[in-house]
Amino acid sequence: MAIRVIADSLAEIPAALHDSVQVNDDGTAVYTVGAVEGWAFENVRSLKATIASERKRAEDAERERTSQLAGYRDESGALLDAEAARSSLARVTELEEQIASGSPDIEAERDRLKQEAAIKEKRLVDRHRLDIDEREKALASLQGNYRRTVIRNAATEAVAELGGAKNKRFLVPEAEKLISVAQREDGSLQPVVLDEDGGVRITMTAGSQDAMSPTERLTMLRDSDPAIADLFPAVDARGSGLKGADRNGARVTTSDLMKIEDPAERIKAMRERGLSDPN
């Protein structure tokens, strides 16, 4: 079967085919295409409709099959093993028969399952309790380190503010004994000075109700303990530093204790005066 290609003019036909084109009186150009063996030109509309119908039927059948198999899948979506399913059904039937006949085996099975459940529950509870204990220990350790850091920083700042940085390895441990911590509303810790009743100590400044600072408390210790005072630069009645002179005006270069060259003897002397071991 041949096909005739009709164009409005010869110009619409490729030049290489002009020799095979018939030009009509109205100017239209006709090119005839011959049939090739084994091929044919036919109306395929009905064929396409049939293919579309079969495709839809196959998709509907697949959806229905998937829906029917939904009850035979495990939690991961995989199909259950048929042999395992048959075995489970047989076990269920056996248990139903034992229940109907009042067999003592069913009571033994129930007790066994209860014991297994109790053992699993105990393991989970023990493991959970162990995890909680470990986390509480870790938290307590972190809180302890944080508390010590806050106190150490406050003590170091107080010693430096009073000019005792040169002897801070002796003074900081003493200052730490005077400082505690309190928790702010946001959960962070702040250094505080406590009184004998465990409350926040109020400053000695007249007319003020502010909390006493670590520096003020260390100043009180310095002014009341000669051994501690010797580790700070000498001060006059106005509180100004007299570097290189003691309170009587005598020339000093360092504390008498710091003049001891033997470390063991120096530490012994510090302890005898009630100071902390710097090591």
pLDDT digits (tens, 9 = 90+) for 135-186: 999 999 999 999 999 999 999 999 999 998 889 999 999 999 999 999 888 8
The residues pairing with 190 across neighbouring beta strands, listed in sequence order, are: 182
Q: Look up residue 251 and give its DSSP letter.
A: B
273 pLDDT above the threshold of 90: no
Mean pLDDT of the chain: 79
- 206 and 232 within one domain: yes
Euclidean distance between CA atoms 213 and 219, whole angstroms = 10
> Which of residues 15, 43, 68 is at a domain's end?
68
Euclidean distance between CA atoms 70 and 106, whole angstroms = 31
- 90 and 62 within one domain: no
Mean pLDDT of 98-119: 78
Look at residue 14 and tell me if it is in a domain: yes
For 109-139, b/e burial (b = at least 16 CB within 10 A) is: eeeeeeeeeeeeeeeeeeeeeeeeeeeeeee
Look at residue 79 and tell me if it is in a domain: no
Q: Which amino acid type is present at position 197?
A: D
Look at residue 89 and tell me if it is in a domain: yes
- pTM here? 0.44
pLDDT score of 249 = 41
Mean pLDDT of 244-265: 50
pLDDT score of 152 = 94
Q: What is the 3-state secondary structure (H, E, C) of 159-190?
A: HHHCCCHHHHHHHHHHHHCCCEEEECCCCCEE
- 213 and 158 within one domain: yes
- 27 and 101 within one domain: no
In terms of residue numbers, what domain contains 162?
85-279
- 213 and 181 within one domain: yes
- 263 and 143 within one domain: yes
Look at residue 78 and tell me if it is in a domain: no
Look at residue 241 and tell me if it is in a domain: yes
- 203 and 141 within one domain: yes
Q: Which amino acid type is present at position 125?
A: V
- 156 and 57 within one domain: no
> Which of residues 12, 35, 68 is at a domain's end?
68
- 60 and 31 within one domain: yes
Assigned token pair, 240: 């100004």
Q: What total of structural domains would you count in the chain?
A: 2
- 166 and 117 within one domain: yes
Euclidean distance between CA atoms 83 and 139, whole angstroms = 52
Look at residue 77 and tell me if it is in a domain: no
- 177 and 250 within one domain: yes
- 258 and 173 within one domain: yes
The mean-pLDDT minimum among 168-172, 225-229, 266-270 falls in 266-270
DSSP count for the chain of H helices, then E strands: 7, 5
Look at residue 22 and tell me if it is in a domain: yes
Look at residue 73 and tell me if it is in a domain: no
